[in-house]
Amino acid sequence: MIGNYNPENTNIQASELPPVKENLLVQIWHNRKARTGIMIIGFFAIFGIIGQIHTPYPASFDNFPTWLPPSAKHWFGTDYDGHDVFSQFMYGTGVSLYVGAAVALIAVSLGTMAGLVSGYYGGIVDNALMRFVDILLILPTFPLLVILSTYFKPTVTSTIIVIGILSWPFMARVIRSQILTVKQRPFVQASILAGMPGYQIMLKEIFKFTLPLIIINAVYIFVGAIVAQAGLAFFGLGDLASINWGTMLYYAQSQDAVIYYAWWWIVPPGLSIAILGIAANFFGNGITEVFGERAGEV
C-alpha cells in the first residue's frame, strides 16, 4: 500500500465476482458513483493531454514578476521564479498522470501474472510467491522507495520503475484468492479433467473472472502511484527538473511559499491529488455495487 487508497475499503467479496460481460461497460456507466469517478479521471486526462500540446505560456518560461496572486492574466498566479503556475499545472498534470498510468501498467501486469500463476498452480510456486509477497507487504514502502530512488539515476522513468515494482504485491494476493475460488467451479474442474492445458484454462476460463478486480486495482494503483511520485519529489527525489504535481509542491515547500501566502501555488496540485483520490474511491465503490448486483446472475 503506497497511497492510502485501500481497496479493502470497498465492500467487495472476491468470491462473488462474476466474469465481465459485454454489456458491463454500459452497466458501469449507469452507476452514478462509477460514472462520477470515470468523468473526473477523464477530465484530468484530457486536461493533461491538452497541456502537453498547448499551455497559455510555455511552462518553463520564468520571466514574469514573482509571487503574483491569481489574475485574469495568470489564473493561478506566478511562483518564486516567475513561472505561470497555471501553465505549469496544466503541463504537470500530463506528466503526473503519465507516471500513474505507466506504474499501473507495470504493477497490474506483475500483480496479475503473479496472482494467476500462484493461484492456478498452487504448491511450491504459490508458497514461494506468497511468502515473497508477505515480506514485500511488511517492508515499509516509502523508505524502500526513498532508498531505491537514492541509488538510481533520477529520471521520470526510473521513478516509474521503482514505484511499479513495489506496487503489485497486494493485488497479486487479491487475484490469487479470487482464482482459488473460481478454480473450484465445476466448469473449470471439467476443463482440467478434459485435459485442457493449464495456460489455456487460465486464459479462457479463469482470466475473465479476475477482470473486475484488475480494473479496480488498476485505478487504485494509478492514483497511489501519483501520490507516491509526488511524495518522492517532495522529498527531493526523482527528476526535479521535470514539471509535475510533485515537483510543484516540492518547490513550493523549499521556496517557502507559505511565507508569501502563495496558496495559489500550493492548492492546485494538492487538491487535484485529493480529487483524483476521491474519484478512485467513487469508481471502486461504484464497480463494487455493479458487481454486487450482478453477483446473483452467474
Partner 1 sequence: MITRRYLIVRSSYALATAMIAITLNFLLPRLIPGNPAAVILFANYHYLPPGKVKLLDSEFGLTTNNLGIEYLDYLKQLFLHFNLGVSFSYYPATVANLIETHLPWTLYLLGVSTLVSSVLGVITGRWIGWRAGSRGESVTSSIFIGLTSLPYFWLAIIFILVFAFMIPIFPLSGSFSITIIPGPTLAFLGSVITHSLLPIITIVITTFPAFALTMRNTMVNQNKEDYLLMAKAKGLPKNVIEKRYAARNAILPVTTHIVLAFGYIVSGAFFVEVVFSYQGIGYLLYKAVTSYDYPLVDGIFLMITITVIIANFVADLLYAILDPRVELR
DSSP 8-state secondary structure symbol assigned to residue 276: H
11 touches partner 1 (CB under 8 A) = yes
Query: Which of 49, 113, 128, 135 touches partner 1 (CB under 8 A)?
Result: 135
Work out how close the CB of 125 gets to partner 1 at its nearest, in angstroms, rounded to a whole number: 18
With contacts defined by CB under 8 A, name the span among 22-30, 53-61, 143-151, 185-193 that binds partner 1.
Answer: 143-151
Give the span between the Cα atoms of 18 and 184, in whole angstroms: 14
With contacts defined by CB under 8 A, name the span among 104-112, 184-192, 204-212, 224-232 that binds partner 1.
Answer: 224-232
Q: Is the dihedral of CA 191, 192, 198, 203 positive or negative?
A: positive
Give the span between the Cα atoms of 129 and 146, in whole angstroms: 24
Work out how close the CB of 202 gets to partner 1 at its nearest, in angstroms, rounded to a whole number: 25
The count of other CB atoms within 10 Å of the CB of residue 155 is 13
Q: Is the dihedral of CA 219, 221, 224, 225 positive or negative?
A: negative
125 touches partner 1 (CB under 8 A) = no
Task: Name the nearest CA neighbour of 286 among 24, 3, 16.
Answer: 24
Work out how close the CB of 112 gets to partner 1 at its nearest, in angstroms, rounded to a whole number: 21
Work out how close the CB of 53 gets to partner 1 at its nearest, in angstroms, rounded to a whole number: 28
Are 106 and 121 in contact by the 8 Å Cβ rule? The answer is: no
Binding-site string for partner 1 from residue 247 to residue 266, where x marks contact by CB under 8 A and - marks none: --x--xx---xxx-x-x--x
Only one residue has cell 501555488, namely 265
Footprint of partner 1 (CB under 8 A)? 1-2, 4-6, 8-9, 11, 134-135, 137-144, 146-148, 150-151, 223, 227, 230-231, 234-237, 249, 252-253, 257-259, 261, 263, 266-267, 269-271, 273-278, 280-282
